[in-house]
Structure 1
Amino acid sequence: MKSQDVVILLKLVSLEDNERNAGSSPQPRGLAGGEDPYSVRGLEAALGISKTEVSASLNRSIASGIAIKDRKSGRPKPSKHQLREFIVHGLKFVFPATPGAMQRGLPTAFAAPVLRESLHSAGSLISVWPYARGQEMGQSVEPLFKTVPEAAEKDERLYEYLALVDAVRLGNQREANLAAKLLTERLG
């Protein structure tokens, strides 16, 4: 498994959530009209991950059982339970995150909108994904994949999932537990 596999699986969950809430097929920003957002090309456009890497990632996820191919549509479909278990119990050991130098970027973990009001830190330092167009200054955290900030800007729900994942990767017991609880609620 590679770190971008988690990003791609969370994007698929985000697409399913958007589809369920909108009642129709989602059309994320950055896609040409008529492009299937679940296709390798659609995922490439949304995430900035090459078609070859997207395809290899989906194959790895299906082989590991963390995703399946939907029988009706043929689309890849993440197993939300398996994905949640991996994120909550294994991700911080496989893809650890450590705060780095101060940089401008996009807020993540406890500084992201999804968690900002839930937790109050004693310190003033926030965690950010390094990003040239970012407006916040904070300690840099290497994202799961280099294009995560751009993908998060295009998809608010994906941003929430990725920020919660970073909270699990970075957080102490209390913070990680809160992020895990929110992930469990969202992933069902």
Structure 2
Amino acid sequence: MKAHNGMRPHDIVILLKIIEKQKGWLSKEISEELKISPSEISESLNRSSISGLLSPDKKKVMKSAFLSFLQYGLRYVFPVEPGPIERGIPTGHSADILKDYFISEETYVWPSRKGKAKGQSIAPLYPNQIFAVEQHKKLYDMLALVDAIRIGKVRECEKSMEILQKLFENNYA
């Protein structure tokens, strides 16, 4: 039996990427698109499979289990504390996917020179996340929703879970 030394933050990103790609994905493509080494992708898939978030054949995300983990475990396993004001890419309730639902004076951003917003910085789940979200809108939306769950209040978490579930079911335009 393989050892499981706990989930890592980029495991969440990899699972979201698999959901974004839907069917017929290859580890090599995931590696290239996320700028994560092939060996780290393989290790991540093993961890996710052992934890029950990925099927035993490592081809399908167990969406119900993954949603439960995001809703009830994410903020405890990968907590976030807002940092200093920086320029960056909006995330959490500040991202386009959520900003119409909430009025807030706070803005959260992933620090980036390319960003056009200014707000409290939130550390991305992995170093190359900014590059990946610039290339893939649906992944950006899902990661912003994940941040809303990590840092949000009850209403933000509930709305984020509702939207994520629709995205996972592929019913979200």
Fold shared by both chains (TM-score > 0.5): yes
CA distance in 2, matches of 1:60, 1:76: 13
In the TM superposition, 1:28-43 aligns within 5 A as 38-43=25-30
2:141 to 151, 160, 177: 160
CA distance in 2, matches of 1:120, 1:184: 23
Listed one character per residue, the Cα deviations across residues 116-169 of structure 1 (whole Å, up to 9, x for unaligned) are 111111x1x310011122121111001111111111111111111101000000
Superposition TM-score, scaled by structure 1 size: 0.82
Name 2:18's counterpart in structure 1: 12
1:104 is aligned with what amino acid? R
Q: Percent identity?
A: 37
1:59 is aligned with what amino acid? N
1:52 matched to 2:58? The reply is no
Name 2:130's counterpart in structure 1: 149
Runs of 4+ in 1 over 2 A off after TM superposition: 184-188
1:137 matched to 2:118? The reply is yes
SS at match of 2:48: helix
SS at match of 2:147: helix
In the TM superposition, 1:34-183 aligns within 5 A as 38-68=25-55, 76-121=59-104, 123=105, 125-183=106-164
Listed one character per residue, the Cα deviations across residues 80-134 of structure 1 (whole Å, up to 9, x for unaligned) are 111100001100000011110011111101111110111111x1x3100111221
Query: Which 5+ residue runs of structure 2 have no aligned equivalent?
Result: 1-6
Name 2:3's counterpart in structure 1: none
CA distance in 1, matches of 2:20, 2:73: 21
Listed one character per residue, the Cα deviations across residues 50-87 of structure 1 (whole Å, up to 9, x for unaligned) are 111111001111111110155xxxx6211111110000
Aligned residues between the structures: 163
Query: Which 5+ residue runs of structure 1 have no aligned equivalent?
Result: 20-24, 26-37
The worse-fitting range, judged by mean Cα deviation, of 146-155 and 3-12 is 146-155
CA distance in 1, matches of 2:81, 2:160: 17
